[in-house]
Amino acid sequence: MPLAIFDLDDTLIDGDSSSLFLRYQVEHQLAGADMLAREAAMMADYRAGRLAMDDYMAFTLQPLGQCTTEQVAHWADDYLRTWILPRVFPQAHAALARYRAEGWRIVVVSATGEHLVRPIAAALGVDDVLAIQLETHAGRYTGRTTGTLTYQHGKVLRLQAWLSSQHETLDGSHGYSDSINDVPLLEAVSQAHVINPDALLLAVADERRWQTLAWRH
């Protein structure tokens, strides 16, 4: 069964789900508004391909420290319905439907926490998810991550481990992303597609002759 591998943020949805969730938390008084400026600066580093993801996750997970998994799941469900589903690109819906109809196995691989990626992917009809794993203790989030972060080359490492466990390969696979951080992932698939690339990724895509797509609402 061939694989169709999708990044999430700014690929399937118009926006970054982690940044948007922090804004949601601030709006609902679950996080301090003073977090927004530092997070925005970190996201500028992300877009330049130089973000230290460990630092970003430690910072943005602070509001979840000691929250129960049930509490966070409740917030994530409301966030999904009110903030994320309206941002899904119509072209993303169409691409997922096409791959599903043709019998492909769809995988979402994201550098966002699994507490957000899993419910978003499920709402899009995708069961297979690789995302940043959050540490829990006694049913509560600790505010820390665990395992290899699905970021930059870490996406490939996690994907390789998943492929082995699922007895799958990347032969004939398609990959989709918007980010310069996902060049290692796009190099690993058989056919790469870049979605709304910035200048950094567009230069790489032109050099590698990857297909460039413009997805809009």
> For every one of its 217 residues, what pLDDT tens digit does the chain have, with 9 covering 90 and above?
899 999 999 999 999 999 999 999 999 999 999 999 999 999 999 999 999 999 999 999 999 999 999 999 999 999 999 999 999 999 999 999 999 999 999 999 999 999 999 999 999 999 999 999 999 999 999 999 999 999 999 999 999 999 999 999 999 999 999 999 999 999 999 999 999 999 999 999 999 999 999 999 8
Question: pTM of the full predicted structure?
Answer: 0.97
Q: Name the catalytic one among 7, 16, 178, 182.
A: 7
7 is catalytic: yes
Chain-centroid distance, C-alpha 59: 17
182 is catalytic: no
Query: Which residue in 149, 133, 129, 148 sits closest to 12, CA to CA?
Result: 129
Q: Name the catalytic one among 9, 10, 178, 182.
A: 9
First to last CA, the chain: 31
- Look at residue 1 in the predicted model and tell me its pLDDT: 84
- Look at residue 217 in the predicted model and tell me its pLDDT: 83
Q: Phi and psi at residue 38, in whole multiples of 5°?
A: -65, -40
